């Protein structure tokens, strides 16, 4: 997936340098790996989501990381003051978590306490209930039957150049760049 904004668009929350490595090297690496693994397998012409739900081994790991990063990079926009959810999603967050602030606290806590590499997710179940989950390594909530809405990448490559060991500071800053119109669209479609 091409980056949907300029590589410096998310500064100062995420630097141009981090975006360059994260999108241009890490994601590109997963894409190259998968393109090398797929030829001659039954997964060659199968949608990415189906591969993530059904495959295993290296194909699953690389497909999962591609799907996760596609959702991740597509959900951001330039920093905005007082950035917050809109529409039906805002109502659902208030109903489920009490308030946007309470939701942010729980989401950040789950991101900060995820041991090792992985992703923290906001998803919706089949009834539209919201839930926050920690997923290790390349896992995605679609493997549990959930609709993934928002994700923060807690692999060190996502923040180490800008925040070093301060993962909680990185997570707290990301709220400025979430494009809630994208998250709302994922929730209502
Ligand atoms: Mn990443």
Residue 106 CA to residue 134 CA, distance in Å, equals 11
CA of 155 to the centre of ligand 1 (A): 6
Check residue 13 and report its DSSP letter. T
CATH of domain 16-74: 1.10.287.990
pTM (whole model) above 0.85: yes
Distance 6 CA to ligand 1 centre (A): 18
C-beta pairs of 98-104 under 8 Å, 24+ apart in sequence: 103/132, 104/175
The per-residue pLDDT string of the chain (189 residues; one tens digit each, 9 = 90 and over) reads 999 999 999 999 999 999 999 999 999 999 999 999 999 999 999 999 999 999 999 999 999 999 999 999 999 999 999 999 999 999 999 999 999 999 999 999 999 999 999 999 999 999 999 999 999 999 999 999 999 999 999 999 999 999 999 999 999 999 999 999 999 999 998
User: What tokens appear for 85 in the block?
Assistant: 């959810």
pLDDT reported for residue 79: 98
Ligand 1 is an ion; residues with CB less than 5 A from it: 153, 155, 158
In terms of phi and psi (left: phi > 0; alpha: psi -120 to 50; beta: otherwise), the region of 57 is left
95 CA to centre of ligand 1 in angstroms: 31
Coil vs helix vs strand at 31: helix
Query: What's the CATH fold of domain 87-188?
Result: minor pseudopilin epsh fold (3.55.40)
Q: How is the chain split into domains, by residue range?
A: 16-74, 87-188
Separation CA 105–CA 93 (nearest Å): 12
Query: 18 CA distance to ligand 1 centroid (A)?
Result: 10
Measured in angstroms, how far is the CA atom of residue 62 from the centroid of ligand 1? 11
Q: How far is the CA of 98 from the centre of ligand 1 (A)?
A: 30
Distance 132 CA to ligand 1 centre (A): 19
Geometric angle at alpha carbon 63, from 24 and 75, rounded to 5°: 60
The reply to whether 16-74 and 87-188 are identical in fold is: no
Contact 119, 135 (CB under 8 A): yes
Indicate left, alpha or beta for 13 from its phi (over 0: left) and psi (-120 to 50: alpha).
Answer: alpha
CA of 21 to the centre of ligand 1 (A): 9
């Amino acid at each position: 997936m091409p980056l949907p904004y300029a590589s410096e668009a998310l500064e100062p929350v995420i630097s141009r340098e981090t975006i360059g490595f994260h999108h241009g090297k890490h994601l590109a690496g997963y894409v190259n790996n998968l393109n090398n693994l797929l030829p001659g397998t039954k997964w060659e012409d199968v949608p990415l989501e189906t591969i993530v739900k059904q495959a295993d081994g290296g194909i699953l790991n690389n497909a999962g990381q591609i799907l996760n990063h596609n959702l991740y990079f597509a959900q951001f926009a330039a920093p905005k003051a007082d950035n917050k959810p809109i529409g039906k999603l805002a109502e659902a967050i208030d109903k489920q978590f009490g308030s946007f602030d309470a939701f942010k606290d729980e989401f950040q806590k789950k991101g900060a306490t995820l041991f090792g590499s992985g992703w923290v997710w906001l998803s919706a179940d089949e009834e539209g209930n919201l839930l926050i989950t920690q997923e290790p390594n390349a896992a995605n909530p679609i493997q549990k039957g959930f609709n993934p809405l928002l994700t923060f990448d807690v692999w060190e490559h996502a923040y180490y150049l800008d925040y070093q060991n301060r993962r909680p500071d990185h997570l707290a800053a990301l709220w400025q760049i979430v494009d809630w119109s994208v998250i709302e669209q994922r929730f209502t479609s």
